[in-house]
Amino acid sequence: MKKKIRIGVIGFGRMGRGFVSVMQMDDRYEIVWICDAHRETRELASKTVPTARITGDADQVLNDPSLDAVGLFTLADARPAQIQQALGKGLHILAEKPIAADTETEWELVRAIEKSGLIVGVNLFNRNAWYHKEMQAFIAEGEIGELAIIRVCHMTPGHMPTEGHAPEGPPFHDCGMHYVDVARWYAKSEYKTWHAQGIRMWNYSEPWWVQCHGTFENGVIFDITQGFVYGHLAKEKTHNCYVDVIGTKGIVRMRHDFKDATIEMHGVNTTTRKTALFNDKKLDVMCDIFARSVLSGKNLGLPTARDSAIASEVSWAMLRDAMANNPPSIGTQREMQQILAHRRTLRSGFGLPVRPTDAPRQPSPVGQPEIACGEDLCGLCERLQAEKKQRSQQSLNVQDRLVEHPDGPTGL
C-alpha cells in the first residue's frame, strides 16, 4: 500500500464536507475525486479542494483504477449499488449509515463485504467517542459491579416530517439506530425482548417519538428513548441527551450539550468527573482509524457493516412494534405547519434540512468541519461564533494596548 491513500468522495453534503475537511488535515490522504449530483455543491467542492477532479457522475470515481478507497456519503438508497461497485473494484470503503434503505439489502451487503477482505468502516460515531471509551474502561475494571441496566435518551427539537432523510426512515431508525447500537455495545450481548411505545405527534402518520425497553440475552435490561419532539417552538430551544449505566455496585453516566460532554463515574473505589469537548460526529477519529486500518491491512477498531446492519434491523423492528401498539395521535397538522414555517426562518437549529442551494459559497476552514450532528444545535452555532468574536475582540484589545505602550506590555 502506498503511503498516501488516494480516495474519491461521493456525496459532498454536510457529512461529505465534514469528512473532506478532516482528510485535508491528514497527510495520509490524497483527495482525488469529489462527486455530487448538484451544480452548486460541485462549485463549492472545486473551491474546497482545487487539486481534486470534480464530477457529477459517480461511475467516473468508482472506475478510476488509481484509487485505493472511496468515501460514500450519499443517502441510504444510493449506497448499495455504490458499495457493490466499490467492492468489485477492490476499493476500501468509508460509509455513512445505514448502508442500505432496507434490511434484506443490508445483510446482502454485509455478506459481500465480509467475503471481500477489504476495509469497510461505517460511521457509527458513538463508538469513536472518548466518553464512551472511558466509561466502558471504568466498567471493565469492576468499579460498578455487574452490569444490570442501560438507559439511553436522545431528545431534541430535531428534523421534522417532510424535511428529508426519507430513505433513512423515521427518527427512531435514522437517528435511533445509533442508540440501539450504543446499548448493544455496552451490553456486549444481542437483543432478546422488547416493547415499544410511540406517539404520532401533530397527527403525523409515523411516530416521531419512541420509547423502547427490554432485555438482552445476557439478562441486562435496557430502555431507549428517542424523539425529535422536544420543544420546537420554545423561545429558548433545549434538549435532553444522556447515557446512564447502572451496575450492582455503582454507576456511570454521561450528559452533553453538543459542545461539551461530561461523564460522572461512581465506583466502589473511585469517583471521577470529567468534562471535555463533545466533538460532534468524531470524524477526526473515524478518519484516523480508517487510515491506519487501510495502511496496515486490518481493521484496527472501525465500526463494521455488521454492527450497522444489526442496529438498523433491530431499530426497524422496534419501530414496527411501536406502530403495532397503536401510537396515539397528539397535536394537529396546523401545529406541524407552524413548526415547519418557523424552522425555515432559522439559520442555526437542531437538524435543519440542508438543500443543495443552501451549500456554503465558500469552503469551511480546513480541519473545522461544519457541525453535522443532525442536531445543528439551536444556539450553539451562534454561541461558538460569539466566542470566536469575543476572542478576536480580546486580541484586538491586546494589540491596542501594545500600541499604547510600544516599549513593552505595560499594563497587560
Contact 17, 6 (CB under 8 A): no
Rounded Cα gap, residues 379 and 391, in angstroms: 18
Do 182 and 101 belong to one domain?
A: no
pLDDT (0 to 100) of residue 194: 98
**Does residue 366 belong to any structural domain of this protein?**
no
Do 149 and 88 belong to one domain?
A: no
| Residue 281, C-alpha cell as written in the block | 460526529
**Does residue 347 belong to any structural domain of this protein?**
no
CATH code: domain of residue 61: 3.40.50.720
User: Which 3 state secondary structure label does DSSP give 405?
Assistant: coil
Closest CA to 200 of 289, 11, 331, 112: 331
Contact 336, 204 (CB under 8 A): yes
CATH code: domain of residue 156: 3.30.360.10
pLDDT (0 to 100) of residue 49: 96
pLDDT (0 to 100) of residue 372: 52
Do 163 and 222 belong to one domain?
A: yes
Do 237 and 186 belong to one domain?
A: yes
Rounded Cα gap, residues 35 and 57, in angstroms: 7
User: Which 3 state secondary structure label does DSSP give 266?
Assistant: strand
Do 148 and 250 belong to one domain?
A: yes
Do 180 and 253 belong to one domain?
A: yes
For 15, list phi and psi in degrees, rounded to 5: -70, -45
Provide block-wise average pLDDT over 10 residues at a time, the chain (412 residues). 86 94 96 96 95 97 98 93 97 96 96 98 96 98 98 96 85 96 98 98 97 98 98 95 98 96 98 95 95 97 97 98 97 97 87 62 67 43 47 51 42 30
Number of structural domains (the chain) is: 3
Helix ranges, 232-363 (H): 283-296, 305-324, 333-344
| Residue 329, C-alpha cell as written in the block | 395521535
User: Can you tell me which residue has the cell 420509547?
Assistant: 211
**Does residue 373 belong to any structural domain of this protein?**
no
Amino acid at 336: M
Q: Please state the three-class secondary structure of 96-146 as a single string.
A: CCCCCCCHHHHHHHHHHHHHHCCCEEECCHHHHCHHHHHHHHHHHCCCCCC
Q: How far is CA 55 from the centre of its chain?
A: 26
**Does residue 359 belong to any structural domain of this protein?**
no
Do 142 and 208 belong to one domain?
A: yes
Do 131 and 115 belong to one domain?
A: no
**Does residue 89 belong to any structural domain of this protein?**
yes
pLDDT (0 to 100) of residue 292: 97
Burial of 85 (0-12, 13-18, 19+ CB in 10 A): middle
User: Can you tell me which residue has the cell 450539550?
Assistant: 257
Crossing angle of helices 14-23/39-48, nearest 10°?
10
Do 245 and 187 belong to one domain?
A: yes
Contact 62, 324 (CB under 8 A): no
**Does residue 341 belong to any structural domain of this protein?**
no
190 lies in which domain range? 127-281+312-334
Do 94 and 155 belong to one domain?
A: no
Do 162 and 241 belong to one domain?
A: yes
Rounded Cα gap, residues 400 and 409, in angstroms: 11
Phi-psi region of 203 (alpha: psi -120 to 50; beta: other; left: phi over 0): left
**Does residue 20 belong to any structural domain of this protein?**
yes
pLDDT (0 to 100) of residue 390: 59
Cα within 13 Å of Cα(249), Cβ side: 13
Rounded Cα gap, residues 405 and 257, in angstroms: 42
Name the helix (H) or strand (E) containing 272.
strand 271-277
Contact 7, 67 (CB under 8 A): yes
Do 134 and 14 belong to one domain?
A: no
Closest CA to 127 of 260, 285, 257, 259: 285
**Does residue 99 belong to any structural domain of this protein?**
yes
pLDDT (0 to 100) of residue 87: 98
User: The whole model's pTM is what?
Assistant: 0.86
CB atoms within 10 A of CB 271: 11
pLDDT (0 to 100) of residue 36: 96
